[in-house]
Amino acid sequence: MPEKTSAPGKIILLGEHAVVYGIPAVAVPLSTLRVTVSWQKLESGDFQIIARDLKNQDITLTPNLDNEQNPLTRIVSSVLAYYNQKLPSVRFEITSDLPIASGLGSGAAVSTALGRAVANSIGEDIPNAILNEMVYNVEKIHHGTPSGIDNTVIVYEQSIKYKKDEPIESLRVHTPFTVLVADTGVTALTHQAVGDVRKLYQANQQRIQSIFNEIDSIVVTAIDYIGRGQIKELGKLMYQNHKLLQKLTVSSPKLDHLVEVALSEGALGAKLSGGGRGGNMIALVEEDMIDTVGNALSSAGATRVFHTDIK
């Protein structure tokens, strides 16, 4: 019987991109969409990672794990180095409900689930704080200058207010609310969008800093609304956040279209979520509007729509 570990996806409710510059952001785990790693000891001495859901990668790693730039080998070597262990003879199989390059945290979820599996396969249960640091370092391969929000929400699997270099705070939710998540079907690299925002920032620090400051006050106010159950007001702030993300050039015509469709069909708020340029958007909806808004998003070209409750 193979043993199993897993990790959830995530959505960013508010504050993406600005979070890289020290502004707070809010993220929630998507516990129903997961990356799962099953593992099985091998007699052959081989070490294998089978990852068909991740661009058909079937990797048989060499024992020296010399490819530090491959995210899969990097997390394996980090865990083994931490426990001072050699490569075990184990076959790991990664399966994923999360599309890659779509803003749902697939990269961090793969690293988290695989890191846990490698530790388990050598008889260890890796503490979240240690794993979080390792996954963050792998995120640097994916993203260049990640804020740390993706690895943190995924490793700890809890809704958080996240601010770089500050202790993680769990999000206090007064009244549960529902968010629709709709995929543009367009893959986009977070790395690229984060790099472009950096160029923009370097070219015009004052203007971009003032956008970040606006996002800051939106996020702080939104956290207060979430804590008080003022969901309609939260929706308005989400849309304001989207407009500021447009100014940061990380939206796209399809994201904008889905956001406008959601609002015109009765969503309380909508915005892109994550790195942008493609990937997913989110819409805040009252329960009786889930189907109407969800169907409208599908008709408008979303390739996958689902909803998640934030509690």
Which residue, 235 or 275, has its beta carbon nearer to ligand MEV?
Answer: 275
Q: What is the dihedral of CA 134, 139, 141, 147, to 10 degrees?
A: -120
Both structure tokens of 258: 């889905």
Which residue, 149 or 263, has its beta carbon nearer to ligand MEV?
Answer: 149
Asked if 171 and 255 count as a contact pair (C-beta separation under 8 A), the reply is no
Tell me the three-class secondary structure of 13-46, residue by residue: EECCCHHHHCCCEEEEEEEEEEEEEEEEECCCCC
Q: Is 183 a catalytic residue?
A: no
Q: How far is the CB of 203 from ligand MEV (least distance, A)?
A: 19
Per annotation, catalytic residue among 53, 58, 66, 150: 150
Map residues 189-228 to x or -, x wherever contact with ligand MEV holds by CB under 6 A.
-x---x----------------------------------
Both structure tokens of 34: 């997961």
Applying CB under 6 A, among 7, 13, 14, 17 the residue interacting with ligand MEV is: 17
* Residue among 90, 156, 150 nearest 119 (CA): 90
Applying CB under 6 A, among 20, 110, 171, 285 the residue interacting with ligand MEV is: 20
Applying CB under 6 A, among 91, 116, 143, 163 the residue interacting with ligand MEV is: 143
Which residue, 91 or 277, has its beta carbon nearer to ligand MEV?
Answer: 277
Interface with ligand MEV includes 19 (CB under 6 A)? yes
**Taking CB under 6 A as the criterion, which residues in 56-115 touch ligand MEV?**
103
CA atoms of 126 and 2, how far apart (whole Å): 19
Q: What is the dihedral of CA 253, 302, 105, 121, to 10 degrees?
A: -150
Interface with ligand MEV includes 278 (CB under 6 A)? no
Applying CB under 6 A, among 99, 107, 146, 235 the residue interacting with ligand MEV is: 146
Residues in the chain: 311
Map residues 173-192 to x or -, x wherever contact with ligand MEV holds by CB under 6 A.
-----------------x--
Alpha helix ranges (H) inside 144-279 = 149-156, 190-203, 205-228, 231-247, 253-264
Which residue, 33 or 293, has its beta carbon nearer to ligand MEV?
Answer: 33
Interface with ligand MEV includes 235 (CB under 6 A)? no
- Please give the C-alpha separations between residue 206 and each of 55, 159, 229, in angstroms, as whole numbers: 41, 32, 34
Does the CA dihedral 223-256-139-131 come out positive or negative?
Answer: positive
Which residue, 8 or 146, has its beta carbon nearer to ligand MEV?
Answer: 146
Judged by CB under 6 A, how many residues of this single chain contact ligand MEV? 15
DSSP secondary structure letters along 132-160: HHHHHHHHHHHHSS--SHHHHHHHHTS-E
Interface with ligand MEV includes 16 (CB under 6 A)? yes
Q: How far is the CB of 274 from ligand MEV (least distance, A)?
A: 4
Q: What contacts 33, CB < 8 A, 6 or more positions away?
A: 8, 9, 97, 98, 104, 306
Which residue, 65 or 283, has its beta carbon nearer to ligand MEV?
Answer: 283
Interface with ligand MEV includes 271 (CB under 6 A)? no
Name the site residues for ligand MEV (rule: CB under 6 A).
12, 16-17, 19-20, 103, 143, 146-147, 149-150, 190, 194, 274-275
- Enumerate the active-site residues: 150
